Structure 1
């Protein structure tokens, strides 16, 4: 048997990290999740990345982070520009 890997058997670390990020936001396809799980079984560095990613997501959800509304963002931008022009 050839030592060359096929896309169906294994993915690169960079691909696994991408699949991990997509899975975090529920955007990963089933085949991407399957490749990620296979990769995580064999790669301790990516497993660590995945665990840290999961913890970060949990902390962000727990903090109930929100972003500015469009109007608030524009007002802040206007105020910043006003102060820079002084």
Structure 2
């Protein structure tokens, strides 16, 4: 899947802000964290019973404002699904 297809399938916002991403992904459906020069999120997408469902996405800052209201753009989305959200976080941090 291309990044545009994945963005539509997983309903990823682009561009966005960390504040918006946290509101959407923190909680039962995923996680959001700011790490160094990027924002990493994990999300949950139902693939069927017994199939891996978590994905990772990495956003990059689009300007000088690195606060919760600064603009971020989608840089990369994992092309594999993970069994656990922690694995998706590790993937995102390593990007």
Normalised by the length of structure 2, the TM-score is 0.24
Normalised by the length of structure 1, the TM-score is 0.25
Higher strand fraction: Structure 1 or Structure 2? 2
